[in-house]
């Protein structure tokens, strides 16, 4: 009886509530409990036996705050039709966050889920478009409502990191029939202290490796020079769009990211030849700044040197 009471007390202590409130009964009892840890509810199944106590927990072990951040931005040109490929991609490239544009999802569509990832989606009705974000279940991440925007579509979340302030992430899309507005960019960049906007703004500029500069690209480039906005644009060297329906079009760069007050070091930004779209996914990897080597300080003992001389 003493052993059993100890086991029951262990279970009650582990679940974080008094023994009396759990109503732990005789041997062989199976009970579902809930534990709140860091704001996240975890399911616990408890087996209580006379001689031993077994606690089985879900694989989810809480929310992590990584020091590095890996992202993929991808214009899917339709998400549902290739959800199996996206799931396989995330298994092979388990990035922290995947930012998706042109999902073509409607409210009537069920969530195209991926194992080990949460989904945020913002559908565009009635026309095509739409944005989404997949983020790892293990991340300390919260959903954000996009600000009021005139032209740009966006899905947003905020990720907590170790050694860096939280970063607001936005999957952004701008239709080629619309112009980029300073008010939209300003609103998006005002959603956090550190912000990354990644996606397809249909904004081309030779400065970020496009073949030529269009009107939207020229305007976006102008905005980078405004001290009140203070953001940078990064893009891969290789093209991100390979048109398959129009042979007159040549591969070009449309997948870009804008960074505001992100002090992580850019480790990688590259185009990946995967998935099924005329746009290629772009991998972005960010990590802590490398520690600078401390200069060697040489101190001469002039008195000792004088004696030896």
Residue reference for tokens 């969530």: 111
Token pair of 43 as six digits: 């399911």
Beta strands in the chain (DSSP E): 29-37, 40-48, 53-57, 69-75, 97-101, 117-122, 131-136, 141-144, 153-159, 167-173, 194-200, 232-234, 255-260, 265-271, 282-287
Low-confidence stretches of the chain (pLDDT < 50) are 2-4, 6-61, 291-300, 304-305
Residues 6 or more apart in contact with residue 299 via CB below 8 angstroms: none
Q: Pairing between strand 97-101 and 131-136?
A: antiparallel
- Residue 64 near residue 96 (C-beta atoms within 8 A): no
Residues 6 or more apart in contact with residue 309 via CB below 8 angstroms: none
pLDDT at 247: 63
pTM: 0.75
Domains of the chain (ranges plus CATH)? 2-57 (no CATH), 69-287 (3.60.10.10)
pLDDT at 246: 66
């Amino acid at each position: 009886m003493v052993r059993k009471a100890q086991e029951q007390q262990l279970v009650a202590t582990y679940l974080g509530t008094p023994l009396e409130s759990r109503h732990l009964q005789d041997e062989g009892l199976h009970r579902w409990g809930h534990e709140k840890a860091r704001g996240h509810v975890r399911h616990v199944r408890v087996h209580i036996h006379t001689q031993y106590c077994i606690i089985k927990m879900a694989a989810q072990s809480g929310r992590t705050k990584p020091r590095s951040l890996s992202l993929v931005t991808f214009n899917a040109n339709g998400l549902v039709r290739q959800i199996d490929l996206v799931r396989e991609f995330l298994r092979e490239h388990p990035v922290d966050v995947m930012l998706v544009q042109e999902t073509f999802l409607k409210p009537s569509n069920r969530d195209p889920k991926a194992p080990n990832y949460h989904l945020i989606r913002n559908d565009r009705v009635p026309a095509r478009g739409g944005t989404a974000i997949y983020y790892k279940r293990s991340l300390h991440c919260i959903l954000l409502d996009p600000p009021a925007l005139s032209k740009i579509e966006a899905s947003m979340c905020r990720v907590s990191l170790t050694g860096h302030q939280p970063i607001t992430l936005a999957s952004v899309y701008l239709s080629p029939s619309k112009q980029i507005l300073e008010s939209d960019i300003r609103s998006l960049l005002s959603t956090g202290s550190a912000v990354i906007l990644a996606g397809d703004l249909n904004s081309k500029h030779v400065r970020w490796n496009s073949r030529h500069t269009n009107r939207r690209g020229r305007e976006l480039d102008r905005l980078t020079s405004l001290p009140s906005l203070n953001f940078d644009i990064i893009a891969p060297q290789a093209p991100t769009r390979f048109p398959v329906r129009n042979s007159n079009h040549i591969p070009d760069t449309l997948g870009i990211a804008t960074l505001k007050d992100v002090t992580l070091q850019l480790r990688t930004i590259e185009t990946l030849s995967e998935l099924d779209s005329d746009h290629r996914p772009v991998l972005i990897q960010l990590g802590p700044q490398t520690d600078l080597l401390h200069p060697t300080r040489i101190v001469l003992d002039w008195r000792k040197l004088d004696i030896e001389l």
